[in-house]
Structure 1
């Protein structure tokens, strides 16, 4: 993608309204938290203390809207404590540049490394850098600075207390994640009716698994319905795929295919009903005709062989889903079986035990090619440079420039640039709105305080619709706070706009000077996915060779690793398509073909997984050699992909040929699945085995295609990006 096209996509993404469900009750509760600490401190103490209280309450409240599975009150307390600590520590070093700049650089670097844990940690940590930058405006007394830090922490406490007193849809995010997983499998079943080889995106299942990890205290209060249905969705997914597939399931045409479509449609209805039950906590009705369809008549059933086995498994699993749909699932707590907690639940460490996890995650990113490390270095450099620029500007609030930089910077190019554009646009609109209000109501601290609370509530309401729209009211909120402290709007409004522009420009320039492009890393991401898929396929085959509980556990671990590798590839691929770089290693078309091949490879392993024998079932020892061949060839092929060599599948071909010629111990499902995998691997070879000259020509043609599409008004850059 050219720079011009990339910048156009940045502007469009930054100003896009994201379709999401608004949460006005949550926004109202959080805005009340701001009012609770702002009003009394304004009335009883001073506007300066009120501004500090509002800073803590607003930032802690905003942190609770981030995507996290921890209790919101814990996030509010953690954000308030972090803001208070950065404020006080910043003040202790703020007297001299020789002490303040190194502290600011180290703090910003650590905040950037927090992205190793996740986006929520990274975003909340960035707000503490902003708090440290505001420290320079505090009173010149350690005692007074400690008081301000305490007031800021009080804002987080107020938000946590409100969350505790007025819970709104407790476990709602967890219910939504689990319901989305069941609904995704239901949608998959419907698509299989018309396209027996339709792909399945495992992201909803991955999200549901992430949501299922709980701390010991959460495990004691989690509703029982959130404990089991995720595994049900996991088991139904390969069964519906096996039933629909014409090679290992129902025939392509005739009564068998019609019967399979009926069962798939019924499965979708039952899963949707279970999803509604989990989401709403109330029983959902399954149509009576659906139950009739799920009845398998031994005498008149038209499905035979593996298709009949898949149908029987599906009916058994859907029976459990129907029980969930009819139960309502809103009462009771998760039963606590005997044994250690780590064996009962997916354990999430508590906040007090999170430090070793953070250290390990950050240590794994300490390499120069890591996007997280590069982001941390950029953040440290921009925060210190922005501060040096700010103190030399003839403006009262120069710290706004580095704060703007810190808040818009992300580890990738597209989101950094899109947020910079969104912040500038939102600031322009917000200060214009605030200016009109200030000129209308006149200088009144109490009125400004009320307007600040209203602006905070509107910012919270729109926080998930797009950064620009939330930032509009955030900018108004800041102007009202400064007006409450006696700052004239004629002074604050131009400053806010100019400094936001400077901060955004610094953030964008930092990424150009020290980027972390995904495009050159695509071959490595593809290789990781290939190797993980090979281990998953080998684990499936070993479960045929020796159907034991240990091999089942290995299969589950390999499946999760394969999904993580696929998600890492997909994220890198999506980001690479938005970068203004010429393709390196893989052109866009080659990447698409390779991705399609690996999805087909994983789908074939999933089909085989659906018929894995039970622990006491028949074994197929010959599958072990095919498993070893697959694992060895895919591991070697992963190295070949990284080095731009042509993969070779000689061992897989030999093992498959030997098994095909064996007189006994042949599983038709495994053989067919292995043939599909071999075909997918050959397609992968075709996609990545071009010579360097052919690759350069392909890259040039790809650029010409994108430019032609852009000139014609088309996108030419692939699927729409989901900004985060």
Structure 2
């Protein structure tokens, strides 16, 4: 993609306003917390302190809107505390340009490394730097710096308290993601009716898994119906695939296929009903037609062999889903239900639910430090982002101080807020920031200059702008930026600062900051396109290991229960999502493919997705504990493991992968195939997928 086209695409993306479900009640809660903080500070301490506390409350409320499964009060308090430390140090060094510049470089570098811990940490850290640039310009002295820092932290206490009381919906932050697996699999079941080999996007199940990890506090307050649903959704997916696939199920046409379509449609309705019950905490209401279809005795008479077993297993799993989704009643400190779908229990029959634990923020510190340390390598996108953002912040600060506009912090603030570790987001946000600032500052300044609002009216207008930002922040960065820019104008006007600055000056400084951010990525990029082969190799190695682990279970079904199958599946999903995200980022990069054409990317992705689907079919029919072993499966597992490792190495080194080990194994089976219909067919299908991958890479090499 050329630079001109890349700029056009990112600009269009940045200015797009998406249609999202608005949540005015949650936005009003955030604005209410801000209003309480501003009003209290104005009444007791005056406009300057009120402005500081307002920035703290604003930032803390934004932290609670971030996509995180941690308790929202914890995020608000952590955001307020980190902002207080940043601003306190900024106050101490603001009078000395060299010291403040050194602090700014250090703080922005650390905020760039914070992206190693995830988007939430990166956004909060970047916002802390941006707000520090604003708050240190407010009238104060070193003697009162600690007081202002305490006020900033106190500004985060009110939003944290309002997140807890009142609760708009018990368990709300995790209900929606935990329920996402149901609609995703319901849609999958309906698509399988018409396309028996339809693909499945694992992202909803991965999101549900992340939401399932809880801290001790969350475990004590989690509604009981949120237990168990994710595990059942994980078990249903391979059963749906095996029931629909003609290679291991019923023919593509005929009475058996019609029966399968009816069962799949009914399964979709049941999964939707269960997801609705989980999301809203209501009893499950099943459509009578779905119940009749699942209980139809024709299923047993028409279907034979593996399809019959898959259908019966699907019905049993759907019963468990309905039972799990029913809201529990709490009596005598316990959660009770008519069934026993409480999920796994603890040792010695104690009835204690086992859940995925999440470390506290303090316990997470060593993990974050280890991740940040791992990014300290020349080819790391996170390290490159940290270097870029620190250099741009320093350059923007010096340039803003040199330009004759005053309030030069608008330039570095714009740079810090728009810069992200990847090209597309940085350029899209730079365009959106400029457009939103142009509109927001123009409207707010027009109001200030025409109405001349006093302190309290400026505070009220700032709260109103904060409400608009909270309401529209998920619809796009440009729409939210309109209200953020106006919020800063009214807040500084309340404190008696910045009223004389013109629209032209603020917009020009924002434009300077955005251009610096865009130029820095062009000069010191971290392109994703050259790393696509490495991402593809990682996916190949992980999905090959998953197929090998599944196949090995056929050779030793009497062995201990193996969590390695589950772990291999999770690694495969993570590698697949990393590949898809890399492809999405590379799509708009002005870089040549360097070995992977767009056609090769699509064909290779299809090949490995199909390889994973075949491995999932094998997992759906794993033998029961104590079933007779299939000795040939051990040979196939070893062959799959070696082939995947060698193939991944070949992909990384830009060679065409070969699958001689797997071909030799299948050739040896021609005389004496294994005594298992699915294993024999599955091995052939797996080899076909790998050969399709080789074809895709070979054609891409010829096009270079």
Superposition TM-score tier, normalisation by shorter sequence: over 0.9
Q: CA deviation at 1:637?
A: 0.5
Aligned to 1:303: 303
Deviation at 1:654, TM superposition (A): 1.5
Q: What is the aligned partner in structure 2 of residue 577 from structure 1?
A: 587
2:397 aligns to what? 387
* 1:492 to partner: Cα distance: 4.5
Check 1:335–1:267 CA distance in 2 against 1; reply closer, same or farther (3 A cut): closer
**For residue 174 of structure 1, what is the aligned residue in structure 2?**
174
Counterpart in 1 of 2:539?
Answer: 529
- Structure 2 equivalent of residue 338 of structure 1: 346
Counterpart check, 1:421 vs 2:441: no
CA contact (8 A) 2:259 2:299 kept: no
Q: Work out whether residues 424 and 585 of structure 2, in 8 Å CA contact, stay in contact via their aligned partners in 1.
A: yes
Taking a change above 3 Å as real, the CA distance of residues 90 and 669 of structure 1, as seen in their structure-2 partners, is: same
Tell me what 2:413 maps to.
403
Alignment of 1:148-159 (within 5 A): 148-159=148-159
Alignment correspondent of 1:224: 224
Is the 1:86–1:132 contact (alpha carbons within 8 Å) kept by the matching residues of 2? yes
CA distance in 2, matches of 1:25, 1:671: 57
- How many pairs align? 693
Q: Is the 8 A contact 1:536 1:558 kept in 2?
A: yes
The aligned residue for residue 110 of structure 1 is: 110
Q: How does 1:203-242 map to 2 (within 5 A)?
A: 203-242=203-242
What TM-score, normalized by structure 1, do the two folds share?
0.92
Task: State the distance in 1 between where 2:79 and 2:322 align.
Answer: 42
Please state how far the C-alpha of 1:620 moved relative to its aligned partner: 1.4
State whether residues 225 and 330 of structure 1, in contact with CA within 8 Å, keep that contact through their aligned partners in structure 2: no
- Tell me the alpha carbon deviations over residues 218-253 of structure 1, each in whole angstroms, 9 at most, x when there is no partner: 112111211201011111100010000001011111
Question: Separation in 2 of the partners of 1:79 and 1:122?
Answer: 11
Deviation at 1:300, TM superposition (A): 6.0
Residues 225 and 299 of structure 1: is their aligned pair in 2 closer, same or farther, counting only changes over 3 Å? closer
Cα distance in 2, alignment partners of residues 410 and 485 from structure 1: 31
The partner residue of 1:363 within 373, 384, 401 is: 373
Aligned residue for 2:569? 559
User: Could you tell me how far 1:597 is from its partner in structure 2?
Assistant: 0.5
Higher deviation after alignment, 158-167 or 66-75: 158-167
- Counting only pairs closer than 5 Å after superposition, residues 485-500 of structure 1 correspond to structure 2 as 485-487=495-497, 489-500=499-510
Deviates more, 1:385-394 or 1:525-534: 385-394
Alignment of 1:200-349 (within 5 A): 200-295=200-295, 297=297, 301-325=301-325, 327-328=326-327, 337-339=345-347, 344-349=354-359
SS of the counterpart of 1:644? coil
Task: State the 1:551 CA deviation.
Answer: 5.8
Residues 266 and 290 in structure 1, CA contact (< 8 A), matched pair in contact too: yes
Aligned to 2:557: 547
**CA 1:586 to 1:550, structure 2 compared with 1: closer, same or farther past 3 Å?**
farther
**Partner in structure 1 of residue 691 of structure 2:** 682
> What SS does the corresponding residue of 1:474 show, helix, strand or coil?
helix
The equivalent residue for 1:197 is 197
Per the alignment, in what secondary structure is the counterpart of residue 491 of structure 1?
Answer: coil
CA distance in 2, matches of 1:671, 1:336: 35
Residue in structure 2 matched with residue 695 of structure 1 by the alignment: 703
Structure 1 position 294, deviation (Å)? 1.4
The answer on whether the counterparts of 2:429 and 2:477 sit within 8 Å (CA) in structure 1 is yes
Who is 2:63 aligned against?
A: 63
Residues 306-346 of structure 1 deviation map (CA, whole Å, 9 limit, x = unaligned): 11111111111111123245x24586757894359999221
Q: Secondary structure at the match of 2:69?
A: coil
Secondary structure, aligned partner of 1:259 = helix
Look up the match of 1:639.
Answer: 649
How big is the shift at 1:438? 2.1
Matches within 5 A, 1:92-131: 92-131=92-131
C-alpha distance in structure 2 between counterparts of 1:293 and 1:136, whole Å = 67
Give the SS at the match of 2:408.
Answer: coil
User: Which deviations, in whole Å up to 9, do the C-alpha atoms of 1:169-221 show, x marking residues without a partner?
Assistant: 23223111121111101100000000001000100000000110111221121
1:548-604 C-alpha deviation (Å, 9 max, x unpaired): 565631100000000000000000001101111111120111111101100110010
Offset from partner CA, 1:76-117 (integer Å, 9 cap, x none): 101100100001122223333333222221211111111111
- The aligned counterpart of 1:475 is 485
Deviations 1:378-436 (A, max 9, x none): 11111111111122222331111101100000010010011111111111111122133
| Distance in 1 of aligned mates of 2:171 and 2:406 | 45
Q: Aligned to 2:301, what secondary structure does the other structure show?
A: coil
For residues 224 and 668 of structure 2, the distance between their equivalents in structure 1, rounded to whole angstroms, comes to 49
Give the whole-Å Cα distance in 2 for the aligned partners of 1:511 and 1:675: 46
Aligned partner of 2:451 in structure 1 is 441
2 CA distance for matches of 1:488 and 1:95?
A: 19
SS of the residue corresponding to residue 379 of structure 1 reads helix
Partner residue, 1:709: none
Q: Does 1:501 align with 2:514?
A: no
Cα distance between partner residues in 1 of 2:125 and 2:670: 58
**SS in structure 1 of the partner of residue 543 of structure 2:** helix
The DSSP-based 3-state class of the residue aligned with 1:689 is: helix
Which deviates more, 382-391 or 504-513? Answer: 382-391
Alpha-carbon distance between aligned partners in 1 of 2:299 and 2:382, rounded to the nearest angstrom: 62
Aligned to 1:8: 8
Q: Which runs of 5+ in 1 are unaligned?
A: 697-724
1:164 Cα deviation from its structure 2 partner? 2.2
- In structure 2, what is the Cα distance between the partners aligned to 1:338 and 1:486? 61
Q: Is residue 654 of structure 2 the alignment partner of residue 621 of structure 1?
A: no
- With over 3 angstroms needed to count, the CA separation of the structure-2 counterparts of 1:397 and 1:352, relative to structure 1, is same
Question: Are positions 1:588 and 2:625 aligned together?
Answer: no
Tell me which moved more, 359-368 or 209-218.
359-368
Question: Residue 120 and residue 604 in structure 1: after superposition, are their counterparts in 2 closer, same or farther (change >3 A)?
Answer: same
Q: Is the 8 A contact 1:586 1:695 kept in 2?
A: no
Q: For the residues of structure 2 that align with 1:238 and 1:299, how far apart are their CA atoms?
A: 19
Q: 1:616 to 1:19 in 2, by over 3 A?
A: farther
Is the contact made by 2:53 and 2:155 (CA closer than 8 Å) also made in structure 1? yes
Shift of 1:649: 0.7
User: Match of 1:21?
Assistant: 21
Deviations 1:491-519 (A, max 9, x none): 24333211111111111111111111000
